[in-house]
Amino acid sequence: MATDTVVILGGTADARRLADALVDAFGDDLRIITSLAGRTKNPRLPKGEIRDGGFGGTEGLAAYLRDVQAGLLIDATHPYAAQISKHAAEAAAMSEVPRLVLDRPAWEPEPEDRWVHVPDIDAAVREISRKSDACLITTGVNDLAAFAPIVSTKLFVRLIEKPETMLLAGAEIVIGTPPYKKDEEIALMRLLGIDLVVTKNAGGSATYAKIEAARALGIEVIMIDRPPLPGGDIVNSVDGALEQVGEILR
């Protein structure tokens, strides 16, 4: 295989694992660049090269792909990062670079789960106001401002790191680092008197314990369903992506 450049749009644990695996598997034959949005202060970095910050939209990303002479673009962003995924699809088409999407399978409800499906954060906000006295919000730092209209529910927001400015007055922050454990999630929900959990359908195992804990305690879960993403060549696992990269660049 000739030396080629693979650009990974990252920001997820799977993107990091994929970059590590590609560097391990292809060594000097591939230039692996992981692109991060630059929002996390101390992200865990993968092997290979890192670039940081937005591209300035579709054209910026297309220009970047041409600059680094990318042979492949891998969209390994979070399933709710809809804007960058749309830009990736458009930029790859514009610059005629093959694109692969690494998309973690969504969680599926078990019979004892009490999920209420909603299409977006605003719909989740309406459900919280109707149903809860003490709600655990686990949707990440990006969307916190959307919960501001809630007045009669005590909100607990679980985050991986403390934000520089608190975007949700009156809410209590609970800091935690995945992977979470079911027993600890049960203890946390009991301690805080949680009667409702709000989550995105992230998939994977690192944050699944909150779903198991809610199931064990009979607590309802407001499940914000995944936004529709552009189609394309999709793989569901890091191993699947690794195999495809070999095929595409051969």
Q: Which residues bind ligand NAP (CB under 6 A)?
A: 9-12, 35-37, 39, 54-57, 60-61, 77-78, 80-84, 87, 140, 142, 200
Quick one: 46 or 71, whose CB is closer to ligand NAP?
46
CB of 18 to ligand NAP, least distance (A): 12
Whose CA is closest to 198, among 239, 138, 141, 140?
138
Q: Which is nearer to ligand NAP, 25 or 160 (CB)?
A: 160
β-sheet with 30-36: strand ranges across: 49-52, 30-36, 4-9, 70-75, 99-102, 233-235
> Would you say 107 or 195 has its CB closer to ligand NAP?
107
| Minimum CB–partner distance for residue 23 and ligand NAP (Å) | 18
* 39 SS3 class: coil
Closest CB 40 distance from ligand NAP, rounded Å: 8
Which residue, 57 or 163, is less far from ligand NAP as judged by CB? 57
What percent of the chain is helix, strand and coil (3-state, nearest 5)?
35, 25, 40
Q: In the complex, what is the shortest distance from the CB of residue 221 to ligand NAP, in angstroms, rounded to a whole number?
A: 16
User: 121 forms bridges with which residues in the sheet?
Assistant: none
Closest among 105, 65, 59, 136 to 226, alpha carbons compared: 105
Residue closer to ligand NAP, measured from CB, 61 or 235:
61
Q: Could you tell me which of 101, 67, 51 has the C-alpha nearest to residue 81?
A: 101
Give the whole-angstrom CA distance, residue 117 versus residue 119: 7
CA-to-CA separations, 109 to 119, 208, 211, 240, in angstroms, rounded: 16, 11, 9, 24
Min separation Cβ 37 and ligand NAP, Å: 4
Output the smallest distance, CB 83 to ligand NAP, in A: 3
Closer residue to ligand NAP (CB): 6 or 186: 6
